[in-house]
Structure 1
Amino acid sequence: VHQRKEFCHWPCKCPHVPTCTPGVSLVKDGCGCCKICAKQAGEICNEADTCDPHKGLYCDYSADRPRYETGVCAYTIAVGCELNGVYYVNGQAFQPTPLYKCLCVSGAIGCTPVFTSKAAASQCVMVKGRKTSGHFSCGPGQQKQLQSTGYRLMPEPSIGCPQPRHSHLLPSKGQLQPPPIAQVLSAPTLLEPRDPEGETT
């Protein structure tokens, strides 16, 4: 009679938590002790080294009869996914656009961005402002109220986004100070586009 090998030992003795490659789940081992990187499709698995449950994998011991000690990670029979007319099998990773990586899990699709945006020092950095209905648009979902400053920049015909934390834009004695290059108007007013003859449209 073959004595089955024991892969779990108690009390638990766990090494440092591993760093898994992108797309590989960090799960608790089959012994219920330590965090491990889950085994992927086609990799050897056992009682301790479990397969990735988030990709619908299980440990198939059928090829290791009669011991059933080690197996191979295989996909369970589950529903695949369809996106834009393309069918993906359960557990398949794919990239429908250059911006996102996706994973099909039992009929559901989960996606993560390929690039992580870095927070800029200013909301208007690398974004060109637009003057629309009394608002500055400094990017998607970000708008700043257009203030009547009493000046317009020269020689640029368009106005960029207001830059925060600049001393010349901070109120001083109830009035806003114009920037170094500015043309003071006779009275505060909202700026309107001008044609080549200088007439307000």
Structure 2
Amino acid sequence: MPSNTPADTSIPRLNYPTARFLISAPTLALCPEDTGAEIAFAGRSNAGKSSAINALTQQNSLARTSRTPGRTQLINFFTVANDSALRLVDLPGYGYAKVPEAVKLEWQHHLSEYLRERYSLRGLVLLMDVRHPLTEFDQMMLGFADQRNMPVHILLTKADKLKNGAAKNALQQVRSRLREWEDLVSVQLFSSLKRDGVDTLSRRLDQWFAPPIE
């Protein structure tokens, strides 16, 4: 399964610290025009999704973080490199928030609708706590991506919570369990706190944002 593949020097590097908030949308119908290229970040509400986006963009509060997981209930869009055609998307966290079950189901509906129907979506960054990977939600998200034949890059977050050997062992176990998806899925360790893995992530995004070769 691919992970830290050598960088393709022909692909331009994007300046992710230039990312700026664009808009929040409660439903697919209210999202920005479906043109250009988007890369979405998804994960359970306690997986560190907002922290990863902030680490990538070197901004402390671009994506809102909260001590109460599950507060992000909207689809949040951010422009990259001052170009509204290139966007990072922070999807609603799922599975932990203390909200009514009907609200959780509505979030899941909008999430699946976005993943299945958004034409400009180039790839999915799926965040999992390295100590609790491949939950039922994670596998549901992989299923959505598989239906669209869409690439997924997994961040095993909070890698600083484990010793180096244990973190590498967790990485190998996830790779082994996802062997059937090896053509679409890549995996890496990630720590927002120590900024470990940020460059690997940014290079993967550069590949996805690059114009398709005709």
Pair in the same fold by TM > 0.5: no
TM-score by length of 2: 0.18
Q: Which has the higher helix share?
A: 2
Higher Rg: 1
TM-score, normalization by structure 1: 0.19
Query: Does 1 or 2 have the higher relative contact order (CA < 8 Å, sep 6+)?
Result: 2
